[in-house]
Amino acid sequence: MPTLTGRSGPEPYLTRISSDTGHELLADEPLDNGGHNQGPTPGELLAASLSACVCITVRMYATRKQWPLTGLEAQVSFERNEQHTVTQLSCVLQLQGELSEEQRLRLLRVAELCPIHKTLMGAVPISTALG
């Protein structure tokens, strides 16, 4: 099972995240929330996961179909409630290339089938324990 580890030291909220595949990134909170604004917030990371997955999935599909997709952008915005829980995600997909309307609509549907989209639409059991 792939594993990511978050580590937080004495700096408020700054979290260093490392993957077992050797990648690292930072997460933080904005200055007005007591953080140092050195990385995206957890909500932004969630939105980034959806954006990346949509781009990758759409690109893979278009490549497999040999469609003339020359570029794409998945702009994801989100709303949070007072408890900082993400309550809504919205994705706007921009497709570049000489695509027919039928191809564009199919790629829109493919975007909604990416693994992160499917995960967020369903219930994912999470177990939390002390180590």
Alpha-helix residue ranges (DSSP H) falling in 66-125: 101-111, 115-121
DSSP state of 83: T
| Per-residue pLDDT tens digits for 98-115 | 999 999 999 999 999 999
57 lies in some domain: yes
Please tell me the total number of residues recorded for the chain in this structure: 131
What is the C-alpha to C-alpha distance for residues 35 and 51, in angstroms, rounded to an integer? Answer: 24
Please name which of 85, 76, 63 lies closest in space to residue 116, comparing C-alpha atoms: 76
The predicted structure's pLDDT at residue 121: 94
What is the C-alpha to C-alpha distance for residues 28 and 56, in angstroms, rounded to an integer? Answer: 26
| Span between the terminal Cα atoms of the chain, in Å | 17
| Per-residue pLDDT tens digits for 24-44 | 999 999 999 999 999 999 999
Res. 69 pLDDT band, cuts 50 70 90: very high
Residue 28 and residue 45 in one domain: no
3-state helix/strand/coil string of 40-71: CCHHHHHHHHHHHHHHHHHHHHHHHHCCCCCE
Res. 123 pLDDT band, cuts 50 70 90: confident
Please name which of 112, 29, 26, 120 lies closest in space to residue 74, comparing C-alpha atoms: 112
Give the predicted TM-score (pTM) of the model. 0.93
129 lies in some domain: no
Res. 97 pLDDT band, cuts 50 70 90: very high
Containing domain of residue 90, as a range? 41-124
pLDDT of 84 over the 90 cut:
no
131 lies in some domain: no
Residue 104 and residue 49 in one domain: yes
Q: Which residues share a beta bridge with 24?
A: 18
Q: For residues 67-74, give the mean pLDDT.
A: 98
Residue 108 and residue 50 in one domain: yes
Domain tally, the chain:
2
Residue 69 and residue 117 in one domain: yes
28 lies in some domain: yes
Res. 15 pLDDT band, cuts 50 70 90: very high
